[in-house]
Structure formats: C-alpha cells, structure tokens
C-alpha cells in the first residue's frame, strides 16, 4: 500500500498512528504540503479533493479522508481493534472522533487560515483568536464527556487505544502548534500522555517525521 | 428512542432521512435552534456539545454527531443497509460523506457565520463569498468523483440510497439556502433529484418540518 502524506498534516498523523498500531508495512509517499504539491496535477490524480492523506490500496482509486481510511484499516486488519465491538460503543467512539474531525479541526486548516489572512486581512492575533474560538470548545466538550463517561479509562474508551484517541491526540498536537492553553483539561492531557507513551503514537508525531523541524 | 433536533439543522435532516429509510419509530423532541435552546442547560444535559441532533436510545448518555448516529442506526437496523458490505465500498462511501461532514459543512454553520459577522464585521456579501469558497470545492470534488467512479449509479454508490447520499443531499439543500449555483454539477444534481423522489428524503426536508417556513 502507498501512503501519501506530509509531516505537518494532522490528518496524515492520524492514519500514521493507525498504521503503526496495526503494524502494517506501507510505502510512504511524501507530498510537499508547504510547497503546495497537494494542489498540483499529480496529486489531483491520486486524490481529487487535493487534501492529505491518501492511501492507495492497489484496487481502484486511492482512499482518502482520515476517518474513512482508519476504519478501512480496522476492517482489513482487525487486531488490535480500534473500535469497540458493540454498536453503542462504536457510536460513542465515532462521536468523539467526529467532534474533532467535523466540528473543530476543519476550522484551523491552512486554506481557512489563508482566507482569514489573505481575504479578510486578519493579523496573527486575529488568527490566533479564531483558532482559540473553534479549537477550545471541542476539547472542552471532550474533557466533559471523558470525565463523566464510565467507559473512559486509560484511553477514551476502555484500556486500549483506538479511533477516538487518535483524533484526540491529533487535536492536542494541533492545539499545541497554536499555543492553546490546555491546562484546564486534565483528562484530555492525561489521555494524550497515555497515548504518547506508546511507540505507535510517539513515532508518528509530526515533528518526528523526515523533513520536519524540531519545534513549531 | 427520543430524537432531538430542529427543522433548520442539516445534521438533524441527515438523521431524519436515515430514520425514515429504516422505518423506525422515534419520539421527536424539538429543540429551538433559532431561540438558542440548544445552548441552554436542559439540552446541555442531553448533549454537552450543545449541537443538534441527539438520539437518546435509552442506554447511557444520548448519542450525538450525525454520522455516528447514522452508523449506529445502520448497525442496529440493518435493512435496508446504508453502507456497502465490503471494506473498500464502506471506505468510499464514508469518504464521500466526510468530504461534506468534515471539510465543508462545518464552515457554514451558525456559530461560524456569527463569528464572521459579529467579530469580523463581514456583511451579507462577505458571508456569501465565504460560504461559496468553502461549499463549492466540496461539491465539485463530489461531482468529479461521482462522474469518474464506476461504483456510482442511481445514487452515490450503486442503485440504493445510503450514507453518502444522505450527506450529499444535506449539502445540496444547505447550498440552496445560500443560493449557491450548482448548475455546473449535473451528476450531484441528478443524484439529489433521485433522492428527492424517495419519500424518506422528501418528507425529511427541512422546509417540510413543523415550524419551518415555506422558503428561505
């Protein structure tokens, strides 16, 4: 399988963690996000949406969208499972992931930040305020749910890492890139710390990838 | 099951279509989105994220996030299926839904529009331009994929309506609310038309719900 991504992309990070947790061999195909290679003709032929990551599984067009790719990986390589086996557990894990994937992360991506600065003339403080406005409520909701929910333990759901942890970790890292203060979210930070102790998460970190700087 | 939603909410519409397709009986619990009831204490106790919809299935906290709820409904009420049975098919359908759920719809929701007008001072034209910028690329990508993909037929995937159609239809309706011109997206419009011929979609339309106006 060929895995197209970039060190800076948090959606790429999510799939990288899943690949690591499953112990799958993939051929890494770097796409230069900062050089806008993802917007070029070559990558368009791989993913018409022009977003990272994509996974070419050797059968038809490459897969894209991090959540769809991770669920595919989980279907094809069932051990260790990234979702609970019961429908209710699945729904709770998917909902946590979607709080981040659908309601928060899309507000902080480069094309949105570029529109804010280039079209609306926001300065760095304005962008920071925007990101804070749309990143913090999602993580605060996760904190509340993870604190109240008896199904959460070492990780978002039980004592094994899964889909929700992957999305939560990607958002904690993203919030860190933008200096958001997460000190009032101890449950989120504890789960992120538990994830970070696992090699699958640690070695997937954006700043551990080839070409990445040591800090942002 | 108790289904919390509002006529104007496109995420509520998605779940309403799934409920209709499955022929499930639910108790509808209207939450007044326009009166900000979703931000109050009562609804917070149902969904701490304060977003619509939510589905109380009578076991633990209510479910939320439209995609997680729809997959739960599909798990619990398998007929007719809303996803293909094979992992690759599932991934393609989920990816189409995520293009809308994760990369486009979150940019047009009330809290974002309110920030644009109240904090950044955009006028109606500015908001319209913003929405056009973030709605059209998602639908254009869907058009390209649905035109190129041999697995798309009457609907997004094959000849039965499913998860991707539900999300596509919600976004076509949303684009219509903001007068986006979809005339160059014939495949998207054709699939939306095919969906609209089905009672499950037609009677779920936001403007067909109690309390809704006849047009926006």
Q: What is the mean pLDDT of residues B101-106?
A: 96
For range A159-165, the mean pLDDT: 97
Tell whether A216 is covered by a domain: no
- At residue B216, does pLDDT exceed 90? no
Nearest to B10 by CA among B127, B161, B176: B176
Of B65, B76, B91, the CB nearest to A63: B91
Which pLDDT score, from 0 to 100, does residue B215 have? Answer: 85
Mean pLDDT of A149-168: 95
Q: Which residues of B touch A67 (CB under 8 A)?
A: 94, 98, 102
Is position A48 within any domain?
yes
CA closest to B164 among chain A residues: A68
Spatial neighbors of B197 by CB under 8 A, at least 6 apart, are none
Identify which of A64, A99, A120 has the shortest CB distance to residue B65. Answer: A99
B100 and B75 belong to one structural domain: no
Look over chain A and give the mean of its residue pLDDT values, rounded to a whole number.
96
Non-local CB neighbours of A36 within 8 Å, separated by 6+ positions: none
pLDDT at residue B150 in the model: 84
In-domain check, residue B139: yes
Q: Is the pLDDT of residue A216 over 90?
A: no
Are residues B67 and B95 located together in one domain of the fold? no
Q: How confident is the model at residue A152 (pLDDT cuts 50, 70, 90)?
A: confident
Mean per-residue pLDDT for A113-128?
Answer: 97
What's the pLDDT at A40? 95
CA-nearest residue to B92 within chain A is: A63
Residues of A in Cβ contact (< 8 Å) with B94: 65, 67-68, 71
Could you tell me if residue A213 is inside a domain? no
How many domains does one find in chain B?
A: 2
Closest-CA residue of chain A to B98: A65
Q: Say if residue B11 is exposed, middle or buried (CB neighbours under 10 Å; 0-12, 13-18, 19+).
A: buried
- DSSP per position, chain B: -EEEE-TT-HHHHHHHHHHHHHT---EEEE--TTTTGGGSHHHHHH-TT--S-EEE-SSSSPEESHHHHHHHHHHHS-SS-SS-SSHHHHHHHHHHHHHHHHHTGGGSSHHHHHIIIIIT---HHHHHHHHHHHHHHHHHHHHHHHHH-TTBSSSSSBTS--HHHHHHHHHHHHHHHTT---TT-HHHHHHHHHHHTSHHHHTT-GGGSTT--S--
- Any idea which residue has 């519409």 for tokens? B13
Residue B215 falls within a domain, yes or no?
A: no
CB atoms within 10 A of CB A181: 9
Contact B49 A75 (CB under 8 A): no
> Of A60, A102, A115, which has the smallest distance from its Cβ to B106's Cβ?
A102
**For the sheet containing B2-5, what is the strand order?**
B27-30, B2-5, B54-56, B63-64
Chain B partners of A59 at a C-beta cutoff of 8 Å? 88
Q: Predicted confidence band at B207 (pLDDT cuts at 50, 70, 90)?
A: very high
A76 and A147 housed in the same domain: no
**A119 domain-assigned:** yes
Q: Kindly state whether residues B98 and B120 are assigned to the same domain.
A: yes
From the list A59, A90, A102, the residue facing B72 with the nearest CB is A90
Model pLDDT, residue B127? 97
For residue B163, give the nearest of B105, B89, B108 by alpha carbon: B89
Which of the four pLDDT bands, split at 50, 70 and 90, describes residue B149?
confident
DSSP states of A26-63? -EEEE--TTTTGGGSHHHHHH-TT--S-EEE-SSSSPE
- Tens digits of residue pLDDT in A33-45: 999 999 999 999 9
What is the predicted pLDDT for the residue at A25?
A: 96
Residue A106 is nearest to which of B63, B102, B144, comparing CB atoms?
Answer: B102
Q: Are residues A132 and A149 in the same domain?
A: yes
CB-CB under 8 Å, A69 with B91: yes
Tell whether A76 and A91 lie within a shared domain: no
Confidence of residue B152 (pLDDT cuts 50, 70, 90): confident
Nearest CA in chain A to B46: A145
Q: Is residue B125 part of a domain?
A: yes
Average pLDDT value for residue range B142-166: 95
- CATH number of the domain bearing residue B52: 3.40.30.10
Residue B72: its pLDDT value, please?
A: 98
Q: Which strands sit side by side in the sheet containing A2-5, from one edge to the other?
A: A27-30, A2-5, A54-56, A63-64
Closest chain B residue by Cα to residue A121: B120
* Per-residue confidence (pLDDT) for residue A16, from 0 to 100: 98
Torsion of CA A175, B171, B21, B82, to 10 degrees: -60
Query: Does the pLDDT at position A97 exceed 90?
Result: yes
pLDDT, tens digit (0-9, with 9 covering 90-100), for A9-63: 999 999 999 999 999 999 999 999 999 999 999 999 999 999 999 999 999 999 9
B216 part of a folded domain? no
Q: Mutate which of B98, B100, B123, B152 to test chain A, going by most A C-beta atoms within 10 A?
A: B98
Mean pLDDT of B124-129: 97
Kindly report, residue by residue over A187-215, the tens digit of the pLDDT: 999 999 999 999 999 999 999 999 999 88
What pLDDT digit, counting tens, does each position of B24-80 carry?
999 999 999 999 999 999 999 999 999 999 999 999 999 999 999 999 999 999 999
**Do B93 and B194 fall within a single domain?**
yes
Q: Cβ contact (<8 Å) for A94 and B65?
A: yes
Question: Cβ contact (<8 Å) for B101 and A102?
Answer: yes
Of A50, A68, A145, the CB nearest to B48: A145
Please indicate, yes or no, whether residues B99 and B65 belong to a single structural domain of this protein: no
Q: Are residues A104 and A194 part of one domain?
A: yes
Same domain, B112 and B63: no
ipTM of the complex: 0.97
Q: Which of A22, A38, A46, A48 to mutate to test the interface with B (most CBs of B within 10 A)?
A: A48
pLDDT of residue B110: 93
Inter-chain touch B120–A115, beta carbons under 8 Å: no
Which residue range(s) make up the domain with A170? 87-199
pLDDT score, position A149: 86
State whether B74 and B96 are in the same domain.
no
Residue A150: pLDDT band with limits 50, 70, 90 = confident
Residue B53 preceded by cis peptide, ω within 30: yes
User: Domain holding A121: CATH number?
Assistant: 1.20.1050.10
Chain A residues touching residue B112 (CB < 8 angstroms): 107, 134
Which pLDDT value is given to residue B161?
98
Inspect the interface and report whether the beta carbons of B67 and A98 lie closer than 8 Å.
Answer: yes
Q: Do A141 and B72 touch (CB under 8 A)?
A: no
- Which two structure tokens, joined as six digits, stand for A32? 């230069």
Asked if B120 lies within 8 A of A122 by C-beta distance, the reply is yes
Q: Do B93 and B25 belong together in one domain?
A: no
């Amino acid at each position: 399988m060929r895995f197209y991504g970039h060190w800076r992309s948090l959606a790429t990070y999510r799939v990288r963690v899943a690949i690591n947790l499953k112990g799958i061999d993939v051929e890494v195909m770097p796409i230069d996000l900062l050089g806008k290679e993802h917007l070029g003709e070559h990558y368009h032929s791989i993913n018409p949406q022009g977003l990272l990551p994509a996974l070419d599984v050797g059968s038809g067009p490459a897969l894209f969208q991090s959540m769809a790719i991770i669920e595919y990986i989980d279907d094809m390589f069932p051990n260790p499972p990234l979702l609970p086996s019961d429908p209710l557990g699945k729904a709770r894990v998917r909902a946590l992931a979607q709080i981040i994937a659908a309601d928060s992360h899309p507000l902080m991506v480069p094309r949105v930040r570029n529109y804010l600065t280039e079209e609306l003339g926001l300065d760095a403080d304005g962008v920071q305020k925007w990101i804070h406005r749309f990143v913090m409520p999602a993580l605060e909701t996760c904190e509340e749910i993870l604190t109240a929910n008896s199904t959460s333990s070492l990780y978002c759901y039980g004592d094994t890492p899964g889909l929700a942890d992957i999305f939560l970790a990607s958002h904690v890292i993203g919030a860190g890139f933008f200096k958001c203060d997460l000190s009032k979210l101890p449950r989120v930070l504890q789960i992120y710390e538990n994830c970070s102790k696992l090699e699958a998460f640690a070695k997937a970190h954006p700043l551990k990838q080839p070409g990445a700087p040591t800090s942002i």
